[in-house]
Amino acid sequence: MAVSDPRAGEAMCPYRLVLEHVTSRWGVLVLIQLLDGPHRFSELRRAIGRVGRGVSEKMLTQTLQTLERDGLVHRDAKPVIPPRVDYSLTVLGREAAQQVRALAEWTRDRMGDVEKARLAYDEARQA
């Protein structure tokens, strides 16, 4: 494999790619949202939109597929009309989501300290 081949990094450090999926912008929000329970695609998209900027259908689809491939999300397609698809966390996904939520809560709780550190850093750089 050539160095520019994305699979080369996966082979050298297999957990890095999963970490990127779990901590990606949309991966974090999907995992945390699914901790509340199963969601349909449109429900998930709306819920994520309330947290921050909305996610496009394409990005949400890609994120869900990636998390499903990694074994973190379960896709349950019911053969009804109109079609119904629910997304939920697997046991592995719930474990990851709890870790991600803990980091998100820490970030929220410590944001004041981060802002102070940034201000001190910026002031020192300007001096």
pTM more than 0.75: yes
pLDDT higher than threshold 80 for residue 95: yes
pLDDT of residue 6: 53
| Count of residues making up the chain | 127
Mean pLDDT estimate for the chain: 89
pLDDT of residue 13: 80
The third-level CATH classification (topology) of the domain covering 6-126 is Arc Repressor Mutant, subunit A (1.10.10)
pLDDT higher than threshold 90 for residue 5: no
Q: How far is CA 42 from CA 12, 46, 50, 88, in A?
A: 37, 6, 13, 14
pLDDT of residue 1: 37
Task: Evaluate the omega torsion of the peptide bond into residue 82 and state whether it is cis, within 30 degrees of 0.
Answer: yes
| pLDDT confidence tier of residue 127, bands split at 50, 70 and 90 | confident
CA distance 98 to 100: 5
CB 48 within 8 A of CB 55: yes
Q: Tell me the per-residue pLDDT of 27-66, one tens digit each, with 9 for 90 and over.
A: 999 999 999 999 999 999 999 987 667 889 999 999 999 9
CB 63 within 8 A of CB 26: yes
pLDDT of residue 12: 60
